[in-house]
Structure 1
Amino acid sequence: MTTTTRAVLVFTLMLLAAPAPAATPAQTMTPVAERPMAPDFALKDADGKRHRLSEERGKVVLVNFWATWCPPCRREMPSMQRAWTRLQGENFAMLAVNVGEDEDTIFGFTFSTGTELTFPILLDRDAQVIKAWPVIALPTSFIVDPRGRIVYRAVGGREWDDPELLKKIRELMPRK
């Protein structure tokens, strides 16, 4: 296990040990002031199809780093599917990057969600892609604008179909 992977795991476990909030927290994303270019990557999905982030230029992209052993990751997947369904056809892409697990583990998890996940789930088997991104815990999600710049970061689980999050994503989409 690399130092980066170990640090992400320790921080995630610390988040899991924290007491649960009394009320549902506001669904927010943190603006990334510098708006750096998103590190490009090419990963295969469970069917062997290659997906390259740079091929999504012109769209707003939700890049989500997750793992099946991560409870907040597991909880947010159904809301990601609902957001995916609502935003399809609107200059939007979603890439869920699983960190360090194999197809069988991922398939077992996706089957157990009770929700058919139709967005691309990519395999970062050796955790090389996550190292290029400013991930401090799992899940961490990024919103990448149509020019390929990181605009927002969200550390921890979200309800991705929340109207306020969907509004912020749509505001970044190119006008037709």
Structure 2
Amino acid sequence: MKLLVLYAALAAGANPATADTGALMALAQGDLAKLTIHAEPRAMPDTTVTDASGGPVTLADYRGKHVLLNFWALWCAPCVKEMPALDRLDGALGGSDFEVVTITTGRNARPAVDKFFVKKEIKNLPKLFDPKMALMQAVGGSSLPLTILIDPEGREVARMRGEAEWDSPAALDLIRGWTGGS
């Protein structure tokens, strides 16, 4: 049944934003039902964060891809819990059309983040830093973890506060349906 609903959403018209929204609404089940899906995509800020070597990164660097953007922190227990699942999601579905982008926000020392990635065997996720919470504030974030789904045009289509099992069958179905992936 959910594939029929997804097909109808995708076939609903030439408007990719409508198809994206329809796919998300059809597949948001379980803990993913917490997704707030926007009727119209929203612009994302061009606030700069830094990569592990201190270089600048903006969300515009990911244009052309569907992005699952996740804000997290080392002190946030739900964030720490979901990071391995986010890593497995990116390992399973990441590529030229989809990427999981994680940004540690607030005061999280690079060596501590490096140690965490090693300890939890995080291999697929980028190490991006928003130490002054500038991007987090620019997107209107107020709690962690915060996950935002961004379309290939760089617009927010949905967001979720709180953790999820991002490598669950429901999450994999949701991402595949949203991105048109297999």
Please tell me the TM-score bracket, short chain as reference.
0.7 to 0.9
Contact 1:91 1:174 in 2 (8 A): no
Q: Where in structure 2 are the equivalents of 1:20-99 lying within 5 Å?
A: 26-28=30-32, 29-99=35-105
Contact 2:49 2:130 in 1 (8 A): yes
- State the percentage of identical aligned residues: 34
Unpaired runs of at least 5, structure 2: 1-28
Counterpart check, 1:173 vs 2:179: yes
Select between 74-83 and 40-49 the one with higher mean Cα deviation: 40-49
User: Aligned pairs, how many?
Assistant: 150
Report runs of 4+ in structure 1 exceeding 3 Å deviation: none
* Rounded Cα–Cα distance in structure 2 between residues aligned with 1:49 and 1:173: 29
TM-score of the aligned structures, taking structure 2 as reference length: 0.74
Contact 1:30 1:152 in 2 (8 A): yes
Q: Aligned Cα RMSD in Å?
A: 2.0
Partner of 1:4: none
**Of the candidates 124, 127, 134, which is equivalent to residue 130 of structure 2?**
124
Q: 1:109 to 1:30 in 2, by over 3 A?
A: same
Query: C-alpha displacement at 1:111, in angstroms?
Result: 2.6
* Rounded Cα–Cα distance in structure 2 between residues aligned with 1:82 and 1:174: 19
* Rounded Cα–Cα distance in structure 2 between residues aligned with 1:174 and 1:41: 28
* Rounded Cα–Cα distance in structure 1 between residues aligned with 2:68 and 2:172: 11
**Of the candidates 104, 110, 118, which is equivalent to residue 103 of structure 1?**
110
TM-score of the aligned structures, taking structure 1 as reference length: 0.76
Query: C-alpha displacement at 1:129, in angstroms?
Result: 1.3
The AA in structure 2 aligned to 1:145 is D
